């Protein structure tokens, strides 16, 4: 069932169940079934006796706090002007919707509950792994690349939400997503994940497979012409460089595997050849945004998000009550300063835990890319990709020597002897991201 669930992470803009204007995406339909099936086995197995509750405390507090704020804020601050999730942004920027309880409030809390339970289960048993992320991203990339077929591509198969928020424009691809920026965010996550996995693969078949997937992801990134995705990719590259520079402080000789060297050489050559076209695309994106109605409306939405935060005395208007143009400002306006801080603790914990593991470092880097993109222009707190990456990285548990020195990281309940042989978690990070081996 986890494989089916992972296969649906790239189809969040489509609906598998439609009840009036309420829709359920394939991922959440699968997550509901998975939660029901796994509930009876919640206290079974060796993972039930693990000491992982300490790591779940922040998630529990986040869920309880968000539920509390969502339960009281729409009544406490009734009539406050917000950007409702039920109407379009362009229609509301100059005519705000009065704050009240809506179906979106209940839906968002339900999504958060399902996601927290999903992360709990993954931390408890270590069942949701990096390979599931790889499968989901690969399926999403293949389907998105098939949209290059043009008009014969079955848009109606994926554009089936009654909300009708699908962008219709030429020149930029959106694949199975509702708009090009969503495709761009997916592409940057896939590029980071496949690229980081490519750097550490040791087999020819694996190298060729991940090289093809990385190329497909880069092609989608280019076709989406998304400035948001470019920012996310840049943040992940900076993270890789920071880890590499930090790892060099250990000194010693290093070696580079031949496939990684050849792959890096090809990437440099391709980047050099495509650099003029990339610069032209970036310039076109900037020129199209400057002075546009879209940029003006985004600025007004951001101003309203900040106003909602302060008018609710930093408490927030409730999860699902106000839309924003970025994830950070949306969270501040919905769950307030404390709720946003709790989520950032969860995200940073996931990143640092993931980077300490050879197996989960690609997912941690992909999470950096996602958050960097989302904090610019991807306001989706219920994103399947976001919570899937958190489920993989947050469940990483440190393995320590008798003296207490950190050796590496593996999923809770799994003892990996290879991790013990690395000597330190940082050397694992270094080898994972750069392809270097220490000796």
CA distances from 188 to 253, 329, 408 (A): 32, 22, 27
Give how many domains the chain has, as a whole number: 1
pLDDT (average), residues 309-338: 94
What is the per-residue pLDDT across 105-158, written as a single tens digit (0 to 9) for each?
999 999 999 999 999 888 877 788 899 999 999 999 999 999 888 777 888 888
Among the residue ranges 287-301, 347-361, 402-416, the one predicted with the least confidence is 402-416
pLDDT value at position 381? 94
Is residue 11 over pLDDT 80? yes
Candidate ranges 226-235, 240-249, 394-403; pick with highest mean pLDDT = 226-235
In terms of phi and psi (left: phi > 0; alpha: psi -120 to 50; beta: otherwise), the region of 318 is left
What is the per-residue pLDDT across 237-260, written as a single tens digit (0 to 9) for each?
777 677 666 655 444 444 555 555
Tokens matching residue 286:
């900037």
- DSSP category for residue 99: P
Give the pLDDT band (50/70/90) at residue 264: low
Residue 364: closest CA among 405, 330, 409: 409
What is the per-residue pLDDT across 339-391, written as a single tens digit (0 to 9) for each?
999 999 999 999 999 988 888 999 999 999 899 888 887 889 999 999 999 99
Q: What is the pTM assigned to this prediction?
A: 0.82
Question: 157 lies in which domain range?
Answer: 2-438
Report percent pLDDT > 90 for the chain: 36
Is residue 64 over pLDDT 80? yes
Give the pLDDT band (50/70/90) at residue 287: low
Can you tell me whether residue 408 is helix, strand or coil?
strand
Q: In terms of DSSP bridges, do strands 406-411 and 396-400 run parallel, antiparallel, or are they unpaired?
A: antiparallel
Please, how many CA atoms are within 13 Å of residue 60, restricted to the half-sphere of its CB?
6
- DSSP category for residue 96: P
pLDDT value at position 399? 37
pLDDT value at position 349? 92
What is the per-residue pLDDT across 88-109, written as a single tens digit (0 to 9) for each?
676 777 788 899 999 899 999 9
For the chain, the average pLDDT equals 78
């Amino acid at each position: 069932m986890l494989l089916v669930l992972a296969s649906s992470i790239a189809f969040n803009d489509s609906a598998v169940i439609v009840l009036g204007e309420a829709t359920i995406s394939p991922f959440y339909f699968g997550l509901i079934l998975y939660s029901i099936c796994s509930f009876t086995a919640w206290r079974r197995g060796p993972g039930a006796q693990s000491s992982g509750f300490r790591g779940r405390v922040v998630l529990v507090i986040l869920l309880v706090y968000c539920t509390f704020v969502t339960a009281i804020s729409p009544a406490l601050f009734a009539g406050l002007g917000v950007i409702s999730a039920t109407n379009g942004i362009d229609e509301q920027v100059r005519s705000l919707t009065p704050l009240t309880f809506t179906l979106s409030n209940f839906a968002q809390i339900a999504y958060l509950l399902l996601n927290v339970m999903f992360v709990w289960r993954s931390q408890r048993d270590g069942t949701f792994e990096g390979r599931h992320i790889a499968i989901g991203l690969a399926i999403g990339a293949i389907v998105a690349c098939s949209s290059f077929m043009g008009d014969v591509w079955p848009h109606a198969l994926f554009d089936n939400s009654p909300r009708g928020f699908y962008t219709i424009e030429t020149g930029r691809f959106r694949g199975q997503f509702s708009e090009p920026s969503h495709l761009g965010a997916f592409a940057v996550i896939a590029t980071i994940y496949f690229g980081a996995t490519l750097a550490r693969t040791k087999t020819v078949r694996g190298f060729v497979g991940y090289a093809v997937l990385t190329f497909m992801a880069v092609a989608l990134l280019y076709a989406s012409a998304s400035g948001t995705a470019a920012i996310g990719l840049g943040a992940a590259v900076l993270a890789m460089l920071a880890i590499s520079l930090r790892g060099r402080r250990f000194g010693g000789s290093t070696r580079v595997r031949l496939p990684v060297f050849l792959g890096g050489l090809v990437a440099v050559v391709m980047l050099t050849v495509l650099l003029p076209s990339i610069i032209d695309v970036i310039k076109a994106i900037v020129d199209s945004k400057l002075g546009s109605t879209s940029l003006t409306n985004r600025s007004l939405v951001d101003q309203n998000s900040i106003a909602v935060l302060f008018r609710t005395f930093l408490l927030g208007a409730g999860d699902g009550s106000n839309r924003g143009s970025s994830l950070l400002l949306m969270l501040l306006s919905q769950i307030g300063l404390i709720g946003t801080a709790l989520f950032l603790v969860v995200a940073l914990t996931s990143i640092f835990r993931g980077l300490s593991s050879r197996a989960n470092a690609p997912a941690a880097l992909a999470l950096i890319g996602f958050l960097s993109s989302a904090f610019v222009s991807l306001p989706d707190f219920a994103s399947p990709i976001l919570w899937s990456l958190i489920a993989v990285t947050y469940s990483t548990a440190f393995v320590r020597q008798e003296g207490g020195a950190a050796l590496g990281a593996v999923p809770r309940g799994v003892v990996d002897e290879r991790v013990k042989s690395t000597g330190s978690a940082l050397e694992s990070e270094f080898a994972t991201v750069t392809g270097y081996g220490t000796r």
